[in-house]
Amino acid sequence: MALLVRLLAVALALALGPAATLAGPAKSPYQLVLQHSRLRGRQHGPNVCAVQKLIGTNKKYFTNCKQWYQRKICGKSTVISYECCPGYEKVPGEKGCPAALPLSNLYETLGVVGSTTTQLYTDRTEKLRPEMEGPGSFTIFAPSNEAWASLPAEVLDSLVSNVNIELLNALRYHMVGRRVLTDELKHGMALTSMYQNSNIQIHHYPNGIVTVNCARLLKADHHATNGVVHLIDKVISTVTNNIQQIIEIEDTFETLRAAVAASGLNTVLEGDGQFTLLAPTNEAFEKIPAETLNRILGDPEALRDLLNNHILKSAMCAEAIVAGLSMETLEGTTLEVGCSGDMLTINGKAIISNKDILATNGVIHFIDELLIPDSAKTLFELAAESDVSTAIDLFRQAGLGTHLSGSERVTLLAPLNSVFKDGTPPINANTKNLLLNHIIKDQLASKYLYHGQTLETLGGKKLRVFVYRNSLCIENSCIAAHDKRGRYGTLFTMDRVLTPPMGTVMDVLKGDSRFSTLVAAIQSAGLTETLNREGVYTVFAPTNEAFQAMPPGELNKLLGNAKELANILKYHVGDEILVSGGIGALVRLKSLQGDKLEVSSKNNVVNVNKEPVTEADIMATNGVVHAITSVLQPPANKPQERGDELADSALEIFRQASAFSRASQRSVRLAPVYQMLLERMKH
């Protein structure tokens, strides 16, 4: 029977494969980092760990692969040293650390791991040493000798002057009445100490750092006959107040107290959980303009967003931060939490003035600068931190500031500063109307925009949304940065001044004297109705010079044959709207003639069939016009014979073109883009 059971076990193991037989419990982050240190130290012998030591200090770290190659902790350089891994020791004459440390009781183990001061203070009490040497199972988080030495003199004096009460209680608070190894130390857990069953807060971070009441665990899992010793870098003390209670007793949080009470967030800050409060001091509130502060304090939703932006979703002790990391707030914003030497940083700024104030439900760091989230800002305030200040000045000069600072739900399409490198337009009625068409009558989010959607502006225009593979455009202007969503308004940063459509494609062509020959040709070919009706067209429009540059024989034959002319002209019209911002390396656009046009963009120059576009994105209600200086030939067309004279029908087209040109009032001289837009608006 026993043989049968063994055979069944073997068969089951074979069926499940080697993973099932070899897999053990998942390693904790601390164990993974320790394993990496072992791998880096193995060339020096068995059980040797590589550690990074911060230059100029005694701080040492077991590090992960990334930190190993960076050779930095909190931006400061480190050196690599090699020492015995926890639980092992050297043997004279042998390489590495081949011998396990002798297994002794807790009291003797304190001396072995470098916590002789803890051992000394244990000796001074009447009760604790016998307990540590006797039977049982305990865990002690033992402060290092440096930890005891760094205590303020008055604190240390009060402990050693009353060893059987104060010192005994302090040491018992570092102890747990059972064996607890690092694989059991979970992030956010609480262990019951041997002092009045007070809780000890444990945090086990993804980078392998473990903290005990925000004291860093230096060397862990030193086994003893009656328990385990973990060496920590601070003397820890009991925690009795929650975050809300600490706010209520600290004088420097007077404004914060009032804000928390007004927002109703006190229930969160006194409730269960493990949070990090980046607590703004009175000084932090005083740094922002009174008008901004009063607006936020008087707006319950903005105030809640402001305060929630100061609360991280998990407890983050300073000792756990050895490099930059992203952390999400209750408001939903991501903050970059980092360090520079001994200073903690938020979004790269050293604004934390006091750190690691421990509470029963998390940790508090004092900050001397307010972290105002986008969701609590006006459009003016959003733009102040973006590369659109020139456009914002134009809105202000045009008297449109109330739309950007009030409670009106709008979306601002703000061109980048670089758009105005050649200067800004004069403020007049046309400019104001153009700017009004950069304000959408709703607070939008770009992720919800869809192709073909229409948006209404404060100027009364309907703007179209175009979704391309790598860009999202509104008319000719494409979004150049992530949205900034404020309290009432959203800021879209745009790559150019937006051109509202001004009539149909035919209206656009007729209104521009450069296209008079093209207009006459379109009418002769019977395509006027097509380009006047509703649709989505991209027209690559040859200028008059393009027709004049054709060999007379080819031009003669083309303009004298209505069917061929219509075929050629249809080849210049794409069957969808393609603005320059939507063109990638190469786009193949189907023409009304049937063949495809090859449209590309490089160094901000658009080409169609390798011919340059001289002016892009002249917007129409049923499409977009791009000016070109050559007449495109479909792939199937063969070179035409040269003639010496124009046919009668061709001469008629040129006579019509001349008439169109004289009738047009449009100037063709070069000008900044906004000047051309304002000129178009006059027609």
For residue 157, what pLDDT is reported?
92
566 and 486: one domain?
Answer: no
* CA distances, 449 to each of 457, 464, 466, 478 (Å): 15, 10, 9, 13
List, edge to edge, every strand of the sheet that includes 76-84: 60-61, 48-54, 76-84, 72-73
265 and 354: one domain?
Answer: yes
Q: Which H/E stretch holds residue 168?
A: helix 168-173
pLDDT over 90 for what percent of the chain? 81
433 and 418: one domain?
Answer: yes
In tens, the pLDDT along 504-523 reads 999 999 999 999 999 999 99
Final residue belonging to a domain, choices 99, 124, 149: 99
Q: Among 26-40, 54-68, 255-269, 537-551, which is the least confidently predicted range?
A: 54-68
Kindly report the CATH number assigned to the domain that includes residue 170.
2.30.180.10
Q: Higher model confidence: residue 639 or residue 45?
A: 45
For residue 660, what pLDDT is reported?
52
In tens, the pLDDT along 600-629 reads 998 889 999 999 999 999 999 999 999 999
Is the residue at 442 inside a domain?
Answer: yes
322 and 262: one domain?
Answer: yes
Q: How confident is the model at residue 126 (pLDDT cuts 50, 70, 90)?
A: confident
**pLDDT of 573 over the 70 cut:** yes
Is the residue at 648 inside a domain?
Answer: no
* CA distances, 171 to each of 141, 200, 229 (Å): 9, 13, 13
Q: Among 348-357, 399-408, 503-512, 654-663, which is the least confidently predicted range?
A: 654-663
394 and 365: one domain?
Answer: no
For residue 677, what pLDDT is reported?
44
In tens, the pLDDT along 639-668 reads 444 333 444 444 455 455 555 554 444 333
Q: How confident is the model at residue 244 (pLDDT cuts 50, 70, 90)?
A: very high
Provide the domain limits for residue 361.
Answer: 243-371
225 and 248: one domain?
Answer: no
- Which two tokens mark 465? 């949304």
- Which two tokens mark 460? 């009364």
247 and 367: one domain?
Answer: yes
pTM: 0.80
For residue 650, what pLDDT is reported?
47
Span 587-600, mean pLDDT? 95
Region of residue 399 (left: phi > 0; alpha: psi -120 to 50; beta: else): left
200 and 117: one domain?
Answer: yes
Is the residue at 228 inside a domain?
Answer: yes
Is the residue at 515 inside a domain?
Answer: yes
Q: Which residues contact 42 (CB under 8 A, 6 or more apart)?
A: 48
392 and 421: one domain?
Answer: yes
Final residue belonging to a domain, choices 475, 494, 513: 494
Is the residue at 550 inside a domain?
Answer: yes
404 and 470: one domain?
Answer: yes
Q: How confident is the model at residue 58 (pLDDT cuts 50, 70, 90)?
A: confident
Q: What is the mean pLDDT of the chain?
A: 89
Question: Do 208 and 185 meet the contact criterion of CB atoms below 8 Å apart?
Answer: no
Q: Among 375-384, 420-429, 660-669, which is the least confidently predicted range?
A: 660-669
Is the residue at 212 inside a domain?
Answer: yes
Is the residue at 129 inside a domain?
Answer: yes
Span 540-544, mean pLDDT? 96
Total of domains in the chain: 5
* Cα 345 from Cα 370, distance rounded (Å): 13
Is the residue at 9 inside a domain?
Answer: no
pLDDT over 70 for what percent of the chain? 89
Final residue belonging to a domain, choices 99, 124, 142: 99
